[in-house]
Amino acid sequence: MTNDAIDLKDCPFCGGEAEIEQYGTPRMSTIYACQDCGCRLETGEEWGHGRQWNTRAAPQITPEVRERMIDVIQDAIEKRRATGKDTLPVTLAVIAADAVLTILNSIIKGE
Ligand SMILES: [Zn+2]
């Protein structure tokens, strides 16, 4: 019962191709590994391999992530202002940040 693997989704961290390093049995864990970044998932799956790898929580762009991003942008703008150099208006930087987050969300959702 080791040939029941389904197509594995790409790595949630780097988008790399994943493989099953070890098929689970009653005595051995199932081990998945990304072939690019090396992240691994060890599970107790003995059949239907791939389920737990493919149902990993996708990264989420939460309101907290947006707030952190805006904080980083504001800090960067303030540091640049302190040097007397020209800088973007904060509003424009926030619009750019929102655009980046929208793109990331669509990538995460596979759109
Ligand atoms: Zn990876």
Consecutive 10-residue runs of the chain (111 residues): their mean pLDDT? 68 89 94 94 92 79 82 83 77 83 78 69
> What confidence score (pLDDT) does residue 37 get?
92
What sign results for the dihedral spanned by CA atoms 77, 80, 84, 86? negative
Residues with Cβ within 8 Å of residue 40, at least 6 apart in sequence? 21, 31, 32, 33, 34
Ligand 1 centroid – CA 12 distance (Å): 7
- Domain 1-56 CATH (choose: 1.10.4160, 3.30.70, 2.20.25, 2.60.40): 2.20.25
Ligand 1 centroid – CA 111 distance (Å): 20
Tell me the angle at which helices 90-108 and 63-82 cross, rounded to the nearest 10 degrees: 140
Ligand 1 centroid – CA 18 distance (Å): 8
Determine phi and psi for 80, rounding to 5 degrees: -70, -40
> What confidence score (pLDDT) does residue 28 get?
95
Ligand 1 centroid – CA 40 distance (Å): 9
